[in-house]
C-alpha cells in the first residue's frame, strides 16, 4: 500500500509539472470560417463597421483596438429575452468595468424606434458608462448584415412574434484581432459565468 501511495504521489506531481509547463495553458478556440495557406491560417474576423452610440458619437472597429469585447443584438422594447440578457450583461459590465482592455457593444435591431435618444435613456436606466458599454444604432441593413456575416447571429422581423422580431440571445466574445473566440447564451446565468471565465483566459493570452 505504501508503494502504491508513493506511485500515486509521483503521478500527481508529474501531471502538475506538465500542466505548469509553457504552452499547456488553456486557450480558447477560434470560431467561424478559416483558410489555410501553407503554414499560415487565417481566421474569421469581424468586418469593419461604423455606427452611432448613445452619446451621438461615431463608433467603429477602431474604438476596440487593443481590447477584447462582448457583443450582442437587442431592441429596447423587447418583451421576451432582452431584459434577461441585459441583466446578465450588467454582470459582465460590473465584473470588468475597471479593466481598460474590455468593452461591450450592443446593437439595436430596431433602429427605427431605437434612436440615439432612446438608447441614451436606456443606458442611463442601466447606470452604465458609454466609454465602457456602447449601445449603437445605424442603417438596419448594415446591422443585420454584420450580425449574420461577422457575428454569425441572425435577426428577423416577424409581426407575429412578441415585439415584432426574432433574434439571437447570444453574447459573442471577440479578441483583440477581431476574431470570434466564444458564443454564449446570454439568457442563462451559467453560460454568462463561463463567458466571464473565458474572458479572463483570453486576457491572459495577451499578458
Ranges of each domain in the chain: 2-29, 40-205
Q: If you average pLDDT over residues 135-150, what whole number do you get?
A: 96
Tell me: pLDDT of 1 over 90: no
Mean pLDDT for 39-55 is 95
Confidence at residue 17, expressed as pLDDT on a 0 to 100 scale? 38
* Residue 64 DSSP code: G
Phi, psi of 105 (to 5 degrees): -130, 110
Q: What does 39-93 look like in DSSP terms, one character per residue?
A: TEEEE-BPPP-EEE-TTS-EEEGGGGTT-EEEEEEE-TT-SSSHHHHHHHHHHHH
Q: Where are the alpha helices (DSSP H) in the chain?
A: 2-19, 82-96, 116-126, 140-149, 189-205
* Residue 25: predicted pLDDT: 58
Least reliable range by pLDDT among 9-13, 26-30, 187-191: 9-13
Altogether, the residues listed in the chain come to a count of: 207
Note the pTM of the prediction, 2 decimals: 0.86
Question: Is it the case that residue 29 has pLDDT exceeding 90?
Answer: yes
The mean of the pLDDT values for the chain is 89
- Tell me the three cell numbers of residue 79: 418583451
CATH number of 40-205: 3.40.30.10
Amino acid at each position: 500500500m505504501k508503494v502504491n501511495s508513493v506511485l500515486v504521489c509521483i503521478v500527481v506531481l508529474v501531471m502538475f509539472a506538465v500542466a505548469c509547463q509553457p504552452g499547456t495553458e488553456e486557450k480558447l478556440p477560434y470560431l467561424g470560417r478559416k483558410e489555410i495557406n501553407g503554414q499560415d491560417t487565417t481566421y474569421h474576423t469581424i468586418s469593419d463597421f461604423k455606427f452611432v452610440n448613445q452619446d451621438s458619437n461615431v463608433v467603429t472597429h477602431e474604438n476596440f483596438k487593443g481590447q477584447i469585447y462582448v457583443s450582442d443584438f437587442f431592441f429596447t422594447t423587447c418583451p421576451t429575452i432582452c431584459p434577461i440578457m441585459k441583466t446578465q450583461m450588467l454582470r459582465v459590465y460590473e465584473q470588468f468595468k475597471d479593466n481598460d482592455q474590455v468593452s461591450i457593444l450592443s446593437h439595436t435591431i430596431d433602429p427605427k424606434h431605437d434612436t440615439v435618444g432612446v438608447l441614451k435613456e436606456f443606458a442611463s436606466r442601466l447606470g452604465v458608462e458609454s466609454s465602457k458599454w456602447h449601445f449603437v444604432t445605424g442603417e438596419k441593413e448594415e446591422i443585420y448584415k454584420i450580425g449574420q456575416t461577422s457575428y454569425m447571429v441572425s435577426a428577423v422581423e416577424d409581426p407575429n412574434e412578441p415585439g415584432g422580431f426574432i433574434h439571437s440571445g447570444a453574447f459573442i466574445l471577440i479578441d483583440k484581432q477581431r476574431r470570434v473566440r466564444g458564443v454564449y447564451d446570454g439568457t442563462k446565468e451559467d453560460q454568462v459565468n463561463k463567458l466571464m471565465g473565458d474572458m479572463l483566459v483570453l486576457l491572459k493570452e495577451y499578458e
